[in-house]
Amino acid sequence: MQKRILGPNLEVSAIGLGCMGMSSGYGPPADRNEMIRLIRASHDHGVTHFDTAEAYGPFTNEDLLGEALRPIRKQVVVATKFGFDIDPTTGARTGGTNSRPEHIRQVAEASLKRLRTDCIDLFYQHRVDPKVPIEEVAGAVRGLIAQGKVKHFGLSEAGVGTIRRAHTVNPVTAVQSEYSLFWRGPEKELLPALEELGIGFVPFSPLGAGFLTGKIDENTKFDPTDFRNLVPRFSPQARKANMALVALVQAVAARKGATPAQVALAWLLAQKPWIAPIPGTTKLHRLEENLGAVNVELAAADLQEIDAASAALQLEGARLPEAALKMTGL
């Protein structure tokens, strides 16, 4: 597995593993023992970057990852997130965002226990909290770094202005946001700013929440608890309209002897050397397929073809529900 550097010195596998879908988001939780085997198998295949959050489950995903990685903890990078009000007993959301410094410290202690570790490698603010100045957030994480409980500070779905302000208080190692051929919003302002500041980028939903694999069409039925039921871009009408993008990726994949998922991930890897996507899966054969993207070479002509053809498409539907979009800085 190839390696990449986030920020000044955080080395991760070129492709990581997003673990959210093992516990929430895409339907009922997967079998715990199977997911432990999958996480360990991913490491056997060279993955060293694992992404979770207290909000996934809530809490259960961190616990799952902690158990799975316990035998190999010193060989991997574990990223988790803070920033929401969640009842520690019931796991219910008791409010919106919460990045008060005392809350950040409480979340860190709880996450350390669930992850069965003494240090969090990468600690993200999950969503910007409009009630707490980002300087206070960065200062709280800086304190955790000074105590040896956190190694690196990250931001998720933050705008460029917020990133710059945070970076002056404590260096930001990585920013995590949605990015793929299905949604290219970060290209206008975010990616140039990250390159200027020397901050790594971790795209989530690098396969467009599954859409770019070619396994989803307008007739696909999602589980009632699947978040995609609420996403405008995943309405049946939008899916039907957006299949033109899938056809484009499939055509390149056929020519390259690869799968659409591999082409979509290879395209991301080709954008910048400091981009390290975290596709998620609950299936070993999909994991192996995704990791195979590092062996797919897209020449400059391929990238130009993809860019030109995709630029001519008018994708339909917002990437998130309106309420969720308001919580992002992009």
pLDDT digits (tens, 9 = 90+) for 105-158: 999 999 999 999 999 999 999 999 999 999 999 999 999 999 999 999 999 999
* Owning domain of residue 181: 3-210+261-296
pLDDT for residue 160: 98
Instruction: Tell whether 34 is covered by a domain.
Output: yes
> CA 79 to CA 89: how far, in whole Å?
23
In whole angstroms, give the CA distance from residue 133 to residue 185. 25
Length of the chain: 330
Please check whether residue 236 lies inside any domain of the structure. no
In a domain, 329, yes or no: no
- pLDDT (0 to 100) of residue 88: 86
Which residues, including other chains, have CB under 8 Å from residue 185's CB and lie 6 or more apart? 177, 178, 179, 319, 330
- 321 inside domain: no
> Domain for residue 120, yes or no?
yes
- Does the residue 185 lie in any domain? yes
Q: What is the pLDDT of residue 329?
A: 82
Q: What is the CATH number of the domain that holds 206?
A: 3.20.20.100
* Domain-located, residue 135: yes
Task: Identify the segments of the chain with pLDDT beneath 50.
Answer: none
pLDDT value of position 181: 97
Instruction: Give catalytic residues, as residue numbers.
Output: 56
Question: Looking at residue 25, what is its pLDDT?
Answer: 94
Give per-residue pLDDT as tens, 35-70.
999 999 999 999 999 999 999 999 999 999 999 999
Q: Is 221 exposed, middle or buried (0-12, 13-18, 19+ CB in 10 A)?
A: exposed
Number of domain units in the chain: 1
Find out whether 83 and 129 touch, Cβ atoms under 8 Å. Answer: yes
Residue 96's alpha-carbon distances to 82, 126, 295, 309, 318, in angstroms, are 12, 12, 42, 40, 22
In order of 62, 65, 100, 119, 127, the CA distances from 146 in angstroms are 23, 25, 18, 11, 23
pLDDT in the model for residue 91: 85
Q: Is residue 20 included in any domain, yes or no? A: yes
- Please confirm whether the linkage preceding 58 is cis (ω < 30° from 0): yes
pLDDT at 90: 84
How high is the pLDDT of residue 258?
Answer: 98
Q: What are the backbone angles phi and psi of residue 16, rounded to the nearest 5°?
A: -100, -165
Q: What is the mean pLDDT of the chain?
A: 97
- What is the pLDDT, as a whole number, of residue 89? 83
pLDDT of residue 93: 79
